[in-house]
Structure 1
Amino acid sequence: MSLASSHSPHGRPPLRTVQVLGGGSAGSSGHVRSLASGLVARGVSVTVCAPTEAERTYGFSGVGALHVPVPRSTDPASLAALRLACGDADLVHAHGLHAALRAALALGGLRTPLVVTWHTRAHAEGARAHLVRLLERRVARAASVVLGTSSDLVDRARRRGARDARLAAVSLPVPRTPAEHDDPERRHPKILAELGATGRPLLMTVGTLDRHRGYDVLLDASRAWRRLDPLPLVVIAGEGPLRTVLQRRIEVEELPVRLVGRREDVADLLAAADIALLTSSWESRSVLAQEALHARVPLVATDVGGTRELVGDAAELVPYGDAQALARSVVRLLDDPKRRRLLRDKGTRQAAGWPTEDETVAQVLSVYDELTQARPIV
């Protein structure tokens, strides 16, 4: 029986944990909500320190955690609030580089174990890249255990000086799929009509409109699809600093691409797609890749970071930055219904092998137990 259980052996009280989030990506915030739910169900006390907007979006208090609003900042007031929240914790678990740095600063002088999960890595160049390396080193050395969501993140933590770095079991809560979407061949008339994709292939991607997403390469590839009949439509859901640049290219070059901004119905958009696209320069456990395979949507992705480790042979993988390879792979898939069906089936099998939410909580609890075995008996 786990020491973290509400009926823990040797008279130990329930474990008191603090989960620290910064800005919180969809992957890390969803993981913290899932983890909090599983920990609370097992009798663990969970406090989530996160910005107010993260609580509004993910509802940590709705699964039994105590939410303490702490801005994503290293100013003295924010660190003081974080230190107060962590003051009586048996263990602190920070998610992401900036959250981990703030947790390490807040815990300065305390002997509270610090677990850090690296869900992704910062994309930086020049002087900022040097600063990121310094921050990563500071965090890796401060952590009792670093959990990386892909093997290359584990290796990165070790290179930065982590005493103990391990591959994390991180589940993605399976999105609800309406009954009308159970048949992957069935189209979704309302969504397709809204997007302007009625009677034409729909290619779907999701992510912040920033440089590392590779959307410039995607626009390059879309030029090759203009010769197809019917003409595929590329839909990009998300916002970011490159919106104006991308929109200008789309208009000037008359590309078959639509920027639809942030959407609350991404799961429905993805379920309506013929092909999902992931064109990033680096990914760990891509939420889009996981959702595509769960939804039985064929995926074309760049062969970077942890993507191959995540999807195996259940996706078409292409080199990053190669617009021609991306374009050819999409054209082949659109022309090959048998290959699309095969990828759907492979995707279902691949997704079945990913960690479940229970398995994720179990692994985290085992780490917590290792680090808190010396807790006093009452």
Structure 2
Amino acid sequence: MTPASSHSPLRTVQVLGGGNAASSAHVRSLAAGLVARGVRVTVCAPAEADHAYGFTDVGADHVHVPRSSDPASVAALRAACARADLVHAHGLHASFRTVLALGGRRTPLVVTWHDRARAEGPRAHFLRVLERRVAKAAAVVLGTTSALVDRARRAGARDARLAAVSLPGPRVLPAPDDPDGLRPKIRAELGATGRPLLIAVGSLERHRGYDVLLDATHAWRRLDPVPLVVLAGEGSLRGELQRRIEAEELPVRLIGRRDDISDLLAAADVALLPSRWESRSPLAQEALHARVPLVATAVGGIPELVGDAAELVPYGNARALADAVERLLEDPGRRELLAERGARQAATWPTEDETVAQVLSVYDELTQPRPLI
């Protein structure tokens, strides 16, 4: 790490809205790596985000800044950034608050777009305005997928680069012989003993495509045995989905938010990702690391992320989704091939250390004095 000067360490502020699990986990990983390299890190995020992700546990300072863009929130962020050599904001709303807080200061601003903001109608137009304001204000916009980099450039970014972040945390690979019997225990708990287990993970919101997934389950009811679909997550559609499951007698269970996703995947036969949009999906990464065959929609950053290591289907096509899953369940050789391809594909993704090194190189580029010509 090259310090900001020969006498003092680089002082950075990481700004996080606190609403996205993937970006929160990335900021914790980034903070840990930067601190280990001698960088001073302050994380500005809601208090509950620090409680959940432990930024202070890895040596960063934490300043409570609510998600709201009210003047008090922006003022708190302005004070926290007052002595920073560089500010790095994650996500659109956190980035916009940071632009307001920095005002006309010359402090370099780096922005990471982890995902695309989703909205319809007048709010969609409002979000596009925010994107343009943020993209033009940032010294560098980092996108976690090529699609997000292109989006930033269209929004007016002067410098937009691909920065594919790693999946923080340990890589949990199921042991082939499962000596502790974890797989049968989890399958028994879920009610999947003697039948295929299909796992989907994510918030129960419209963009996740779970309505299409429920449509697809109708085709699987004629299989023997009938697969069980398990959805892990919470959200505004829980009531609607549960009513459909009961009214249509679908082989689906909603199990709420879980903190043992790696164990659930280790017990699964197939992982499902039917979303309308995904950037660098944590579920896709977890599934490939765990050698679990994945059926996903060919949207956003998914094709770039998984390559040929997953079955890709069009979004919104319940028949294509159902057929892809059925083919996998009937073909153990294909499942094993995808497991092997998944392990190879996962090995091409950046490690946490490589992610930190890339980000730090951007910081150095923006903070080092330039020689006079």
Tell me the TM-score range normalised by the shorter chain: over 0.9
Instruction: Kindly state the Cα deviation for residue 24 of structure 1 after the two structures are TM-superposed.
Output: 3.3
Aligned to 1:183: 176
Instruction: Kindly state the Cα deviation for residue 201 of structure 1 after the two structures are TM-superposed.
Output: 0.6
Give the percent of matched residue pairs that are identical in Structure 1 and Structure 2: 75
Pairing partner for 1:101 from 65, 86, 96: 96
Pairing partner for 1:236 from 231, 236, 244: 231
3-state DSSP class of the match of 1:11?
coil
Rounded Cα–Cα distance in structure 2 between residues aligned with 1:363 and 1:177: 25
3-state DSSP class of the match of 1:14?
coil
Aligned to 2:347: 352
Aligned to 2:215: 220
The aligned amino acid for 2:46 is P
Aligned to 1:170: 165
Instruction: Kindly state the Cα deviation for residue 184 of structure 1 after the two structures are TM-superposed.
Output: 8.1
Instruction: Kindly state the Cα deviation for residue 176 of structure 1 after the two structures are TM-superposed.
Output: 4.9
The aligned amino acid for 1:183 is P
3-state DSSP class of the match of 2:316?
coil
Rounded Cα–Cα distance in structure 2 between residues aligned with 1:188 and 1:246: 27
3-state DSSP class of the match of 1:234?
strand
Aligned to 1:136: 131
Pairing partner for 1:308 from 303, 306, 310: 303
Please tell me whether the aligned partners of residues 172 and 289 of structure 2 are also in contact (alpha carbons under 8 angstroms).
Answer: no
Rounded Cα–Cα distance in structure 2 between residues aligned with 1:90 and 1:248: 53
Instruction: Kindly state the Cα deviation for residue 175 of structure 1 after the two structures are TM-superposed.
Output: 3.2
Rounded Cα–Cα distance in structure 2 between residues aligned with 1:334 and 1:271: 16
Instruction: Kindly state the Cα deviation for residue 110 of structure 1 after the two structures are TM-superposed.
Output: 1.4
Instruction: Kindly state the Cα deviation for residue 23 of structure 1 after the two structures are TM-superposed.
Output: 2.6
Instruction: Kindly state the Cα deviation for residue 192 of structure 1 after the two structures are TM-superposed.
Output: 1.1
The aligned amino acid for 2:60 is A
Which ranges of structure 2 fall in alignment gaps of 5 or more residues?
none
Aligned to 1:322: 317
Please tell me whether the aligned partners of residues 66 and 73 of structure 2 are also in contact (alpha carbons under 8 angstroms).
Answer: yes
Aligned to 1:363: 358
Instruction: Kindly state the Cα deviation for residue 67 of structure 1 after the two structures are TM-superposed.
Output: 1.1
User: Within 5 A, what are the aligned runs for 1:25-174?
Assistant: 25-174=20-169
Over aligned residue pairs, what C-alpha RMSD do you find?
1.6
Rounded Cα–Cα distance in structure 2 between residues aligned with 1:184 and 1:312: 28
Aligned to 2:11: 16
Please tell me whether the aligned partners of residues 145 and 164 of structure 2 are also in contact (alpha carbons under 8 angstroms).
Answer: no
3-state DSSP class of the match of 1:270?
helix
Which ranges of structure 1 fall in alignment gaps of 5 or more residues?
none
Aligned to 1:266: 261
Quickly say closer, same or farther: Cα 1:85–1:201, change in 2 above 3 A: same
Please tell me whether the aligned partners of residues 175 and 267 of structure 1 are also in contact (alpha carbons under 8 angstroms).
Answer: no
Aligned to 1:3: 2
Instruction: Kindly state the Cα deviation for residue 12 of structure 1 after the two structures are TM-superposed.
Output: 4.5
1:188-210, Cα deviation, whole Å (9 max, x unpaired) = 12211111111111000111111
Please tell me whether the aligned partners of residues 74 and 102 of structure 1 are also in contact (alpha carbons under 8 angstroms).
Answer: yes
The aligned amino acid for 2:152 is A
Q: Would you say how many aligned residue pairs link Structure 1 and Structure 2?
A: 369
Rounded Cα–Cα distance in structure 1 between residues aligned with 2:344 and 2:7: 41
Instruction: Kindly state the Cα deviation for residue 109 of structure 1 after the two structures are TM-superposed.
Output: 2.3
Rounded Cα–Cα distance in structure 1 between residues aligned with 2:85 and 2:325: 51
Please tell me whether the aligned partners of residues 308 and 341 of structure 2 are also in contact (alpha carbons under 8 angstroms).
Answer: yes
Instruction: Kindly state the Cα deviation for residue 171 of structure 1 after the two structures are TM-superposed.
Output: 0.6
Task: Give the TM-score normalised by structure 2.
Answer: 0.96
1:208-230, Cα deviation, whole Å (9 max, x unpaired) = 11111000000000110001111
Task: Give the TM-score normalised by structure 1.
Answer: 0.95
